[in-house]
């Protein structure tokens, strides 16, 4: 997309150029003079960046000149941004990191909560980028099971970051052998399998605690990471169940916390203060939503999800990956799912009835036509022990591309060559039509 005439943008100090690019369009961007950053990662001067299917904001602290090639569906300059508070937030965290280094303590742990589409993930990215820019090694915990910034939708992940977040690729490609321009990261992922934490609160809480436990154990050993702290990104959680989950999360990760739903949370924490003396100094901070935040409709979310799945197997245009197709007999794997059939809402249950049993029940699924086009999560578990297998982390994902019912075989797409290492696979609601 090197169209002849680039569009020139002149940005004043602390202005932001907001661009939206459609999925099938490529837009090239170049910083000519000044400084600029995209979600915290600084842009290099006279380097071309290419975007597709993204909504990005190029912010400048000092003013800059930017050239843009290609057509964006939306493009405008905004001069009111909450960036001051964001950078203050970062500096406040950085100060805590310095203190942690001096006292050999623990770095700040931040949880970002708020309703959908307020820029939580962007803010986490920004805080992480800033931390990385100052040679920190923050851990990114992604509890947003609807999006899956790091691996796939439906997962709870934790990822130690050491390299800059790439402007074009976002969080980078997890565990690839490919030459990535950004960070090659190794996440720890647990399979939840539902788009919202509310779909199976018990499982979500279970996994959340497990994840927190693992992260804490790792940070005990990794000094640099411990002092750099954690940034936790969450789903849009704004109702009673959401609060419960947030409270849980704060307990599990001993979060420092800052938050949009300021008053509610403060109230909650005044109550909590007596109950949980083990959670010291939870500070709740209200940050403004950036005006650049756009509501993403379901179509866009769906598209992003598909893109994520595609990226998992095929990589991005910048770093392509080669998945492998193999076939496997029905008897060679055990496909599992959580919960019994579709869950009835709690309110529909008889009074006094508890549905906890069924929420975390592991059910075997017979392989068959219904698996076609499903994305299955490969568990790292070696044994089928109900209490353990739910909490075992993931080895990766496979995609069922064909089913041969008569021969009892399925053809699947595996991220890398060789045998699929484990035989217990989770079936979730994730489907994907490979194009």
- Closer residue to another protein, CB minimum distance, 294 or 416: 416
Please name the residues in contact with 310: beta carbons below 8 A apart, sequence gap of 6 or more. 432, 434
- Closer residue to another protein, CB minimum distance, 223 or 353: 223
Residue 276 C-beta: closest distance to another protein, Å: 18
Residue 406 C-beta: closest distance to another protein, Å: 25
Q: What are the tokens at 308?
A: 């994520």
- Closer residue to another protein, CB minimum distance, 56 or 189: 189
Interface with another protein in residues 12-51 (CB under 8 A):
31, 35, 41-47
Residue 3 C-beta: closest distance to another protein, Å: 24
Closest Cα to residue 232, out of 218, 211, 201? Answer: 211
339 sits near another protein (criterion: CB under 8 A):
no
Residue 24 C-beta: closest distance to another protein, Å: 23
Residue 26 exposure: Cα atoms within 13 Å on the Cβ side: 11
- Closer residue to another protein, CB minimum distance, 368 or 421: 421
**Which stretch in 15-23, 177-185, 351-359, 368-376 sits in contact with another protein by CB under 8 A?**
177-185
**Locate tokens 């010291």: which residue?**
280
- Are the CB atoms for 9 and 92 separated by under 8 Å? no
User: Any long-range contacts for 28-33 (C-beta under 8 Å, 24+ apart)?
Assistant: 28/1, 28/2, 28/68, 28/69, 28/70, 29/58, 29/66, 29/67, 29/68, 29/69, 30/6, 30/66, 30/67, 30/68, 31/58, 31/64, 31/65, 31/66, 32/64, 32/65, 32/66, 32/67, 33/64, 33/65
- List, as residue ranges, the binding site: 16, 55, 117-122
Residue 322 C-beta: closest distance to another protein, Å: 4
- Closer residue to another protein, CB minimum distance, 223 or 386: 223
Interface with another protein in residues 95-154 (CB under 8 A):
95, 98, 101, 130, 133-135, 137
Residue 289 C-beta: closest distance to another protein, Å: 14
Conformation bin of residue 119: beta by default, left when phi > 0, alpha when psi is -120 to 50: left
Interface with another protein in residues 347-376 (CB under 8 A):
none
- List, as residue ranges, the binding site for ATP: 16, 55, 117-122
**Which stretch in 86-94, 200-208, 344-352, 361-369 sits in contact with another protein by CB under 8 A?**
86-94
- The CB density around residue 240, as the number of other CB atoms within 10 Å, is 9
Residue of 174, 235, 290, 304 interacting with another protein (CB under 8 A): 174
3-state secondary structure of 359: helix
Interface with another protein in residues 290-329 (CB under 8 A):
312-313, 315, 319-324
Residue 414 C-beta: closest distance to another protein, Å: 9
- Closer residue to another protein, CB minimum distance, 221 or 366: 221
Q: What is the distance between the alpha carbons of residues 283 and 188, in angstroms, rounded to a whole number?
A: 27
- Closer residue to another protein, CB minimum distance, 368 or 417: 417
- Closer residue to another protein, CB minimum distance, 45 or 146: 45
421 sits near another protein (criterion: CB under 8 A):
yes
Q: What are the tokens at 101?
A: 């280094």
Quick one: which H or E segment has residue 309?
helix 298-314
**Do strands 64-69 and 188-191 pair parallel, antiparallel, or not at all (unpaired)?**
unpaired
Residue 312 exposure: Cα atoms within 13 Å on the Cβ side: 24
67 sits near another protein (criterion: CB under 8 A):
no
- Closer residue to another protein, CB minimum distance, 77 or 175: 175
Quick one: which H or E segment has residue 129?
helix 120-133
- Are the CB atoms for 330 and 409 separated by under 8 Å? yes
Residue 225 C-beta: closest distance to another protein, Å: 8
- Closer residue to another protein, CB minimum distance, 4 or 102: 102
Interface with another protein in residues 195-254 (CB under 8 A):
214, 217-218, 221-222, 224
Residue 8 C-beta: closest distance to another protein, Å: 20
Closest Cα to residue 415, out of 53, 143, 151? Answer: 151
Please name the residues in contact with 250: beta carbons below 8 A apart, sequence gap of 6 or more. 111, 257, 272, 279, 282
Residue of 89, 152, 208, 309 interacting with another protein (CB under 8 A): 89
Closest Cα to residue 10, out of 38, 32, 37? Answer: 32
Residue 62 exposure: Cα atoms within 13 Å on the Cβ side: 8
- Are the CB atoms for 128 and 232 separated by under 8 Å? no
Q: Count the residues of the shown chain that bind another protein, applying the rule CB under 8 A.
A: 83
Residue 133 C-beta: closest distance to another protein, Å: 7
Residue of 77, 178, 294, 343 interacting with another protein (CB under 8 A): 178
Find the radius of gyration of the CA atoms of the chain: 22
3-state secondary structure of 281: coil
Binding to another protein by CB under 8 A, coded x per residue (else -) over 261-280, reads: -x------------------
The 8-class DSSP code of residue 373 comes to T
Interface with another protein in residues 401-420 (CB under 8 A):
415-419
């Amino acid at each position: 997309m090197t169209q002849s005439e680039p569009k020139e943008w002149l940005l004043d100090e602390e202005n932001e150029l907001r661009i939206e690019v459609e999925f099938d369009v490529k837009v090239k961007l170049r910083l000519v003079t000044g400084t600029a950053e995209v979600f915290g990662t600084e842009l290099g001067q006279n380097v071309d960046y290419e975007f597709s299917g993204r909504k990005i904001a190029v912010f400048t602290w000092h003013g800059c000149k930017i050239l843009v090639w290609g057509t964006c569906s939306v493009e405008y300059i905004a001069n009111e941004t909450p960036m001051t508070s964001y950078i203050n937030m970062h500096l406040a965290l950085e100060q805590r990191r310095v203190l942690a280094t001096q006292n050999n303590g623990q770095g700040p742990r931040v949880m970002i909560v708020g309703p959908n589409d307020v820029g939580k993930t962007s803010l986490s990215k920004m805080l992480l980028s800033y931390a990385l820019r100052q040679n920190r090694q923050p851990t990114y915990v992604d509890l947003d099971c609807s999006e899956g910034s790091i691996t796939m939708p439906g997962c709870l992940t934790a990822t130690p970051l050491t390299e800059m977040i790439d402007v074009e690729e976002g969080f980078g490609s997890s565990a690839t052998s490919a030459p990535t321009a950004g960070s090659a990261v190794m996440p720890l992922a647990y399979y939840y399998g539902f788009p919202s934490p509310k779909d199976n609160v018990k499982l979500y809480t279970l996994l959340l605690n497990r994840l927190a436990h693992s992260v804490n154990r790792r940070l005990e050993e990794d000094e640099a990471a411990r002092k750099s702290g954690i940034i936790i990104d969450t789903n849009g959680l704004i109702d009673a169940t959401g609060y419960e989950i947030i409270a849980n999360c704060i307990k599990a990760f001993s979060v420092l916390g800052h938050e949009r739903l300021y008053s509610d949370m403060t109230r909650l924490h005044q109550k909590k203060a007596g109950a949980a003396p083990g959670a010291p100094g939870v500070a709740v901070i209200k940050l403004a939503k950036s005006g650049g935040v756009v509501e993403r409709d379901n179509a866009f979310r769906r598209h992003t999800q598909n893109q994520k799945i595609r990226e998992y197997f095929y990589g991005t245009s910048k770093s392509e990956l080669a998945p492998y197709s193999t076939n496997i007999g029905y008897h060679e794997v055990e496909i599992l799912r959580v919960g019994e059939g579709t869950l009835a809402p709690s309110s529909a249950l008889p009074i006094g009835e508890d549905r906890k049993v069924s929420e975390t029940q592991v059910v075997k699924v017979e392989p068959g036509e219904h698996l076609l086009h499903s994305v299955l999560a490969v568990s790292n578990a070696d044994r089928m022990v109900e209490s353990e297998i739910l909490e075992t982390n993931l080895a990766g994902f496979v995609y069922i591309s064909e089913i041969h019912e008569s021969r009892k075989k399925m053809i699947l797409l595996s991220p890398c060559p060789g045998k699929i290492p484990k035989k217990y696979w989770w079936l979730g609601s994730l489907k994907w039509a490979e194009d």
